[in-house]
Structure 1
Amino acid sequence: MALLVEIHVPLTPTPGLKPWEYPFPWIEQVEDFLIELEEEGTAESYDEGTEFRACFVFFLVGATEAGLLAASSRVATLKGVPAGSFALVTDTEAPEMGTGRRVDLPL
């Protein structure tokens, strides 16, 4: 069992895009940022991001709770990431996604 933080970002389309453009370009931006976190040794992605309810969820492990929440806060402040993100502090053995202690982002 390991500490896990779920980063929930509202699935809000990016304003100003053309109708044929992908409405959530910030998802790829966050995924690139998470790779940078891994390269820094700050935190690790636990699994691929996924849609859950009205959010896109990213998963972080490999650091203390404070470290994972700090990294989550950095995600929430990336340019283009919709407001309203939050983290759920849980663990890798949780019976289901979307459970845990909620922390509003950014910190």
Structure 2
Amino acid sequence: MAEIIVEIHVPLTPTPGGPQFPWIETVEDFLVELEDEGAAESYDEGEEFGDNYVFFITGGTEKALLAAASRVATLDGVPPGAFALVTDDEADEMGVGRRVDLPVK
């Protein structure tokens, strides 16, 4: 059975006068906290994909993973415009799946 993966796509919006994307480390630290809580697991290392930086989470129901992705999108410093793609570990490539705007309402 395929395992659900949620790709969290965050726009690579430069930060004026500072490190280009300081929020990447903030999100990575937060994902470690989610793993410690048992709320989600990182599926793979984050990476640039087009105009976005993508983080991958798994290890829960779609609802729980989208809730975790929503928390990521609302972290301080994370630029607006984040979205999730709901996919699974059998997908042929990254960047395909059902799009969900973040945070989920």
TM-score (norm: length of structure 1): 0.94
Q: Letter of the 2:26 partner, please give it.
A: Q
- CA deviations on 1:29-81 (whole Å, 9 max, x unpaired) are 00000000000000000000000010000000000000000000000000000
Partner secondary structure for residue 46 of structure 1: strand
Give the match for residue 86 of structure 2: 89
Which aligned segments of 4 or more residues in structure 1 are displaced greater than 6 angstroms? none
Aligned to 1:4: 5
Classify the secondary structure of the residue corresponding to 1:49. strand
- 2:62 corresponding residue in structure 1: 65
Counterparts of 1:1-107 in structure 2, within 5 Å, are 1-17=2-18, 22-107=19-104
> Secondary structure of the equivalent of 2:10?
strand
**How many residue pairs align between the two structures?**
103
Instruction: Structure 2 unaligned segments of length 5 or more: list them.
Output: none
- Percent identity, aligned pairs only, is 72
